[in-house]
Amino acid sequence: MKANRQVENAQPSATVSHSMVRVVAPGSDVFRRAAGRWRGRRVCYERKVVAKSAPRPGSASDLIDARIRELDDWRGETLARIRSLVKEADPDVVEEWKWRGIPVWSHDGIVCTGETYKNVVKMTFAKGASLDDPAGLFNSSLEGNTRRAIDVHEGDRIDEDALKALVRAAVELNTSRRR
């Protein structure tokens, strides 16, 4: 049997995968995930945590900054512009980092999210179906009863005034329901 190896720097991060990695001798002080019998011997498996990216300490704003830097193409620029427009529309908005790395802007509830995909930056409004959209910005998730989204593709121009009005309407909806 191989000697026990410690898992160095195995702190959870934004992206983590788990794998069963090694058979160890009975009586060792290794974290035991499962135990069983194999040819008369006690067999234990260690659960190894493998970080796919370095831990990202800091506030949600720091994590969003890191995501924008990480996306060093049009998607990063678009996410940065969306972020600034949301903050301009509501200076009291709170930035959050949820669901394994999604930027979220909240004010008495979720206002919208900023998701990045290979071909699109998606801005999803949590209560978008309840919002008036006179400029017709919503172009995705139109079939649902709650959410609505805006897909921004490479080269698309954002109607900044209409987007800020939509964010203000979402904040107003959130604050009116809290009273």
pLDDT mean for each 10 residues of the chain (179 residues):
43 41 46 45 44 58 93 95 97 94 95 96 96 94 93 96 96 85
**Cα–Cα distance measured from residue 34 to residue 57, given in angstroms and rounded to the nearest whole number:** 31
Query: Which ranges in the chain are annotated with CATH 3.90.1150.200?
Result: 60-178
Q: What is the pLDDT of residue 57?
A: 61
Question: Whose CA is closest to 82, among 98, 103, 63, 109?
Answer: 103
Q: Are strands 34-38 and 148-152 parallel, antiparallel or unpaired?
A: unpaired
- Cβ neighbors of 150 (< 8 A, separation 6 or more) are 122, 123, 125, 137, 138, 139, 140, 163
CATH class of 60-178: alpha beta
Cα→Cα distances 118→64, 125, 141, 151, 172, Å: 17, 20, 18, 12, 32
Spatial strand order of the sheet with 16-24 comes to 16-24, 41-51, 34-38
Q: Is the pTM of this model over 0.75?
A: no
